[in-house]
C-alpha cells in the first residue's frame, strides 16, 4: 500500500474524532427524514449510534462511496449515559453483534402527490467490530446514510446529546427527535400511522390507541418535562370516531433557566 493511500485511509478513519470534547456536549445532526423515520434501534443501540453520530463533523461531506469510522470506549459510553462500566461493556458487545442488521426506513413523498412515494431502507453501518478485552467498539458507517448525517444545509434536526443522555425510554428519545425536527415552529401535527412508525409500535399497539397513549405518549412527555425541561401539550385529532393524527405544541420551560 502506497504512502498516499495509507494517509488517505488514516485521515478518513479519524476524521470524526475530536477527542478534546466530551460526548455529552456534542450535537447530533440528522436529516428530518431520518429523525421522523423508523430507526430500528433498541435504547442501547440508539445511544451508541447517536454517540457515534455526535462525533461526526457535520460540516464535512465524505467523498462519494466513502464513510468514516468511529470508535467508542466503554468508559466514555458509561460516563455519557450514567451507567456502570460493566453494563457499558455488555451493551457495546451486544451492539457489535446486532447493529449491522439495523436499518432506517422512511418514505420520500413524490412532488405534487399527497399519497405514495419512494420507500427507502438504509443501513446505519457497514461494519461493527467489538474489541474484546479492550472495551471499545468500532463502527464503519454505511456510505449511503452519510448525506443524512453530514453536510446538511436545510431540513435537518439538531440536538445536544446531553439532552438525551438522562432519558431511560426510547419513546422519550424519539419524541425529542420529532419535536426537534419541528423546532422552528414549536408545534407539529403527525398522522397516527407516521407516529406509530416512528415509535415502532407493534401491530397490536397500532390497533389500540389507548395503548399508544398509555405506553408511549404520556410516559415520554413526563420524562421529557422532568429530565429535559420541556413544556408539552398534545391532543388527538379524530376523523369520525377514530384518531387520525396527533397535535403537539412544545417549548422549553423558561423557569428552568432560572434554577
Domain residue spans of the chain: 1-165, 167-259
Nearest CA to 76 among 18, 135, 27, 128?
Answer: 135
Confidence category of residue 110, pLDDT binned at 50, 70, 90: confident
Give the Cβ contact number of residue 63 at 10 Å: 10
What's the rounded Cα separation, in Å, for the pair 175 and 190? 12
Confidence category of residue 136, pLDDT binned at 50, 70, 90: very high
* pLDDT reading at 13 higher than 50: no
The yes or no reply on domain 1-165 and CATH 1.20.1050.10 is no
Those residues with Cβ within 8 angstroms of residue 137's Cβ, 6 or more apart along the chain or in another chain: 48, 71, 72, 92, 93, 95, 96, 128, 129, 130, 131
Q: What CATH number was assigned to the domain covering residues 167-259?
A: 1.10.10.10
Higher pLDDT, 187 or 15: 187
Which of 21-35, 99-113, 166-180 is most confident? 166-180
Fold identical between 1-165 and 167-259? yes
* pLDDT reading at 16 higher than 50: no
Supply 193's cell numbers: 400511522
Give the Cβ contact number of residue 93 at 10 Å: 15
Amino acid at each position: 500500500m502506497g504512502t498516499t493511500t495509507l494517509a488517505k485511509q488514516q485521515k478518513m478513519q479519524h476524521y470524526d474524532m475530536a477527542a478534546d470534547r466530551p460526548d455529552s456536549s456534542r450535537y447530533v445532526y440528522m436529516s428530518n427524514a431520518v429523525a421522523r423515520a423508523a430507526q430500528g434501534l433498541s435504547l442501547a443501540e440508539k445511544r451508541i449510534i447517536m454517540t457515534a453520530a455526535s462525533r461526526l463533523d457535520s460540516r464535512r461531506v465524505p467523498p462519494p462511496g466513502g464513510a468514516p469510522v468511529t470508535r467508542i470506549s466503554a468508559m466514555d459510553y458509561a460516563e455519557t449515559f450514567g451507567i456502570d462500566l460493566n453494563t457499558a461493556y455488555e451493551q457495546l458487545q451486544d451492539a457489535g453483534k446486532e447493529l449491522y442488521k439495523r436499518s432506517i426506513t422512511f418514505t420520500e413523498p413524490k412532488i405534487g402527490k399527497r399519497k405514495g412515494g419512494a420507500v427507502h431502507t438504509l443501513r446505519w453501518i457497514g461494519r461493527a467490530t467489538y474489541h474484546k478485552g479492550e472495551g471499545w467498539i468500532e463502527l464503519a458507517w454505511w456510505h449511503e446514510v452519510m448525506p443524512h448525517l453530514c453536510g446538511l444545509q436545510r431540513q435537518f434536526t439538531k440536538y445536544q446529546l446531553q439532552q438525551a443522555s438522562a432519558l431511560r425510554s426510547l419513546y422519550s428519545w424519539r419524541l425529542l427527535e420529532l419535536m426537534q425536527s419541528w423546532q422552528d415552529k414549536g408545534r407539529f401535527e403527525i398522522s397516527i400511522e407516521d407516529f406509530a412508525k416512528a415509535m415502532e409500535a407493534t401491530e397490536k399497539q397500532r390497533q389500540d390507541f389507548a395503548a399508544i397513549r398509555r405506553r408511549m405518549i404520556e410516559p415520554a412527555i413526563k420524562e421529557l418535562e422532568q429530565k429535559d425541561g420541556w413544556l408539552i401539550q398534545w391532543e388527538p385529532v379524530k376523523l369520525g370516531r377514530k384518531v387520525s393524527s396527533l397535535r403537539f405544541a412544545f417549548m422549553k420551560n423558561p423557569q428552568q433557566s432560572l434554577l
